[in-house]
Amino acid sequence: MSVIYNRVALIGLGLIAGSMAHAMRESGLAGEIIGHARSEATRDIAREIGLCDRICDSAAEAVAGADLVVLAVPVGAMGQVAAEIAPHLAPGATVTDVGSVKQAVIDAVGPHIPEGVHFIPGHPLAGTEHSGPRSGFASLFRNRWWLLTPLPGADPQATDRLSGLIAAMGAKTDRMEPGHHDLVLAVTSHAPHLIAYTMVGVADHLRRVTDEEVIQYSAAGFRDFTRIAASDPTMWRDVFLHNREATLDILGRFTEELFVLQRAIRMGDGDQLFDYFSRTRAIRRGIIEAGQDTEAPDFGRTPGAKP
């Protein structure tokens, strides 16, 4: 493959940015990859492992001369970072982000983007429970969706160029209206994460079950909850605070469904439970058929393989 961007600046050096660096380097998609992280310890690790061609101590220095800037920081920090880098962005550059919420990011970042710079919000639907500069790997995005939410009047050439980079890293791209994105992700990601955190919290507070029993006898269901609940707490705090309405809407619907199941169990209504579980089982089959997971256990991972 050929170079798509001459200089890419990654602001934030966690799982997503690290995986982008590996994927771009593996396929020769960027002439130069520059990185910055707020934490000095993170910058030191990134230098140690050679994550980028150059690691800068400030975001302003990192974005200088870049034709693509990727904001890979928690949603709550997007506005502050955008304000910091705005005076240093090159004319004609593209700024994108990888936040799990889109409307709040647009509201926070958009006002800081100078005239002549293209802001194209994005969200890769890929990840693991791991974080930090050592967690990234080149294949993270392969066959995963990467949603873009271009603003009205967005430059089509800049959007197509970014889509080309995403496709070259192995992902499938789609475009979506920001508010609809936030509702879809509340269903598919945000509410499930909150439920997982809650279930692990319930086990922690259920004193009739010891910690040793929870850990030693975790069946697949609870074990998978703990995997989800191990995700970065800063990121998920910001997701829920910045996608509040959609998440509360979905959680309200979840509570209604839970009451229906509670009543069926209480009344011994096996037919209703069987019909309900049969319908929801079909969703799992659809996910497998869409290539977004496999029938193998442990979320399709090979035991001992890198996540």
Query: Which residue from 160, 156, 100, 104 is spatially nearest to 127, judged by alpha carbons?
Result: 100
Q: How far is CA 94 from CA 7, 158, 176, 218, 241, in A?
A: 11, 7, 18, 46, 27
pLDDT band, residue 175 (cuts 50/70/90): very high
Domains of the chain as residue ranges with CATH: 5-176 (3.40.50.720), 180-268 (1.10.3660.10)
pLDDT value, residue 49: 97
Is the predicted pLDDT of residue 302 greater than 50, yes or no? no
pLDDT value, residue 135: 93
Quickly tell me which residue has 């975001």 as its tokens: 59
Render the burial of 71-108: b for 16+ CB within 10 Å, e for the rest: bbbbbbbbbebbeebbebbbeebbbbbbbbbbbbbbeb
Query: Which residue from 65, 103, 305 is spatially nearest to 184, judged by alpha carbons?
Result: 103
pLDDT value, residue 211: 60
Of 31-35, 93-97, 205-209, 266-270, the range with the lowest mean pLDDT is 205-209
Relative to beta strand 145-148, strand 122-124 is antiparallel
pLDDT band, residue 208 (cuts 50/70/90): low
Of 4-18, 80-94, 121-135, the range with the lowest mean pLDDT is 121-135
pLDDT value, residue 301: 45
pLDDT value, residue 213: 67
The helix (H) or strand (E) run that includes residue 188 is none
Give the mean pLDDT of 146-159. 96
CB 124 within 8 A of CB 174: no
Query: What average pLDDT does the structure give for the chain?
Result: 88
Give the mean pLDDT of 231-256. 87
Is the predicted pLDDT of residue 180 greater than 80, yes or no? yes
pLDDT value, residue 220: 61
- AA letter at 291: G
Give the mean pLDDT of 151-170. 97
